[in-house]
Amino acid sequence: MELRQLKYFVGVAEELHFGRAAQKLFVSQPALSQQIKLLEGEIGVELFVGIKRTQQRKVELTEAGAVFLTEAKRILQLSQKAIETARQVGAQQQVIKLGVFKLILPERIMAMLDLFSTHFPTLEINIVELPNTAQVQEYVANDRVDLGMTVLPLVYEGIVAKPYAEADYSILMNRNHPLATQMAVKLESLQQEKWIDHGREAGLFFGQIEEICRQANVNRESNIVQVVPSFDLLKSMVRLGKGIAFIPASLDLRQEPSLLSMPLINADGTPFKQIVIQHVLIHKSERPTPLTQALAGLVKTLVTPEH
Amino acid sequence: MELRQLKYFVGVAEELHFGRAAQKLFVSQPALSQQIKLLEGEIGVELFVGIKRTQQRKVELTEAGAVFLTEAKRILQLSQKAIETARQVGAQQQVIKLGVFKLILPERIMAMLDLFSTHFPTLEINIVELPNTAQVQEYVANDRVDLGMTVLPLVYEGIVAKPYAEADYSILMNRNHPLATQMAVKLESLQQEKWIDHGREAGLFFGQIEEICRQANVNRESNIVQVVPSFDLLKSMVRLGKGIAFIPASLDLRQEPSLLSMPLINADGTPFKQIVIQHVLIHKSERPTPLTQALAGLVKTLVTPEH
DNA sequence: AATTACAATAAGAAATACTTATCATTACCG
DNA sequence: CGGTAATGATAAGTATTTCTTATTGTAATT
């Protein structure tokens, strides 16, 4: 018997419907049928009614199943509590350093801190703001921080990324730019624009863009007027009207009155979704401390899995 | 987190020694190291002392580990209790039919019944004695019994066997046989004997014997004076002095004053162990009831695994 | 009678746990 | 001290388990 099976059992027992329970538990319906049957086999007792459960339309608990349900819930609850108390005792004076890309929305950061604090109430979190995404990775790679909040892609080796959100691309431009009056722009209408870009060697999240531009017949590569090493510089260049740039739509520009993040749309007016930015929590892949591992393990709960 | 990991953790915590704990838990030592590390990773806290545990010679619990230990024990205990109460409620008026090869030692049968009754206190067990091993399998295959106690090998398809004990072969002979005065016999000294045998088509547990006899230079095959369909007949033939026969040393012959089960030894006097009889619990492999499955699952605890 | 809803089954893919072999560190013993 | 034994960690490959997709069978619904 395993806790996973108990979770599945409680799920089915509460929904009284394998299909819905499967959705709630983020597994397929056959997986549930199988594990429930294994569990019944080990206990030696049918937990749900019917030799073949299809003989009556609705799934019902047997008497034994009902008894087992209360026990199963109790066990799951205790396991959770056991983890939490161990964390409180063990993480008593533990500190973690979190490197955050400066332009991540504060809401996102707060959500992450909330998540961490709920599971590790006594944990102390030090936040380090970093001006560009490469530096977040560099800090993680060199152990200057334990965890990093940034966006894909990765340029350093040996780093693990856990996605927790997605965001569209948009175009960063000066408020005085001719296109600034529009609500959104089509990629095709940017054929004559000048571009600011992070260097190819910096990689960052600009790798995938080339292909898309080629498809839209936008000759971006030869219209790059400036390659910059950091986001601060990129913003400065745009502020000075030197050109426009790709950025994640989710970046925080509220401190920048002269800049504008303009949504991209397709030729037919629908939102541009061909490529998206992955927001991720990152940490070193080799020899992470249990604490780092556990914190990274939490973020999967932020993702909204859909099927 | 899984119950298996909790079991492993408790094992290590109680032994404070990975190697010994591994033996007790019937897994290899690396398996323990790995699972403990996974557990620590998920909880986010070191459960045993030391960054590298080799820095001090003995494994010790951290404070968090000590707290977690009591919780883990409680959870495991509750899981066990949950199974048991579900069984009591569910198996209230359940009946199981157990087909037993007649010559299995009563002690063995009692041990099995004990095992079943401890886990299913309210279970009713009907025993059916069957005169030979093929019939036990036939009864299982045809659903005339739910479980069977017999010995390998199997002759029917679709039957699962769980070994619970091993026994040496020995030689069944009449008490008046010239060799009956010895304490044990060598296979080589049986070259001139007449043999009683179960037919090749019955298979049973006599398949492997041919090879061994060939190796010992005993021309048994051409000295078979009688092929019999049942154990009762085999005993009768031996009782009448028609010949001798291979049987499992573990068979119960206490009701047979005129028969003798003579241990086999090697040329050098050591016990003959080249081939052994597997005592097994059998059941049908397709669509077993949960109860049957669970009972069969219990027998692994009777086996004495050694490493 | 035909269709829909639903759990069971089958079969193959993916993930996980386990095994053996080896390494690194420490304690022990001459 | 230097060599050996003990012990847990690590690596790499294997085995097992669990999951997924596709399909089937049965009962309820229209």
Q: Which of A234-238, A265-269, B198-202, B283-287 has the lowest mean pLDDT?
A: B198-202
Confidence of residue B169 (pLDDT cuts 50, 70, 90): confident
Burial (CB < 10 A; 0-12, 13-18, 19+), residue B245, is buried
Protein residue closest to C21, using CA and C1': B30
Given a contact cutoff of 8 angstroms between Cβ atoms, the answer to whether A94 and A124 are in contact is yes
C-alpha to C-alpha distance for B45 and B37, rounded to whole angstroms = 10
Burial (CB < 10 A; 0-12, 13-18, 19+), residue B127, is middle
Q: Determine the pLDDT at residue A305.
A: 36
With b meaning 16 or more CB within 10 Å and e meaning fewer, what string describes A17-45?
Answer: ebeebbbebebeeeebeebbebbbbbbbb
Over residues B7-31, mean pLDDT: 95
pLDDT, tens only, B63-77: 899 999 999 999 999
Q: Determine the pLDDT at residue A285.
A: 81
C-alpha to C-alpha distance for B16 and B5, rounded to whole angstroms = 16
Phi/psi of residue A156, nearest 5 degrees: -95, 150
- What residue spans of B44-186 are helical by DSSP H? 63-90, 106-119, 133-141
Closest nucleotide over all strands to A307 (CA to C1'): D20
Q: Is the CB of B30 under 7 A from strand C?
A: yes
More confident residue, A306 or B233: B233
* Chain A residue with Cα closest to B67: A86
Both tokens of residue A118? 């709920």
pTM attached to this predicted model: 0.78
More confident residue, B220 or B113: B113
Given a contact cutoff of 8 angstroms between Cβ atoms, the answer to whether B205 and B277 are in contact is yes
The size of chain B, in residues, is: 307
- Report which DSSP code applies to A16: T
Q: Determine the pLDDT at residue B55.
A: 55
CA distance B223 to chain A (A): 48
Q: Which residues contact B66 (CB under 8 A, 6 or more apart)?
A: none
C-alpha to C-alpha distance for B54 and B70, rounded to whole angstroms = 25
pLDDT, tens only, B38-66: 999 999 999 998 645 555 567 889 989 99
Percent of chain B residues topping a pLDDT of 70: 92
Q: Which nucleotides of chain D have an atom under 7 angstroms from any protein CB?
A: 7-12, 18-22, 25-29
Confidence of residue B91 (pLDDT cuts 50, 70, 90): confident
The Cβ-side half-sphere exposure at A274, using a 13 Å CA radius, reads 16
Distance measured from the CA of protein residue A100 to the C1' of nucleotide D9, in angstroms: 33
Which chain B residues are Cβ-neighbours of A124 within 8 angstroms? none
Residues of chain A with pLDDT under 70: 50-57, 93, 199-208, 301-307
pLDDT, tens only, B102-120: 878 888 899 899 999 988 9
C-alpha to C-alpha distance for A79 and B76, rounded to whole angstroms = 10
Q: Determine the pLDDT at residue A176.
A: 87
Per-residue DSSP letters for B1-31?
--HHHHHHHHHHHHHS-HHHHHHHHTS-HHH
CA distance A250 to chain B (A): 30
Both tokens of residue A143? 């152990």
Q: Determine the pLDDT at residue A306.
A: 34
Q: Which residues contact B62 (CB under 8 A, 6 or more apart)?
A: A90, B45, B46, B47, B48, B49
Q: Determine the pLDDT at residue A14.
A: 94
Distance measured from the CA of protein residue B29 to the C1' of nucleotide D4, in angstroms: 22
C-alpha to C-alpha distance for B207 and B222, rounded to whole angstroms = 16
Q: Determine the pLDDT at residue B199.
A: 67
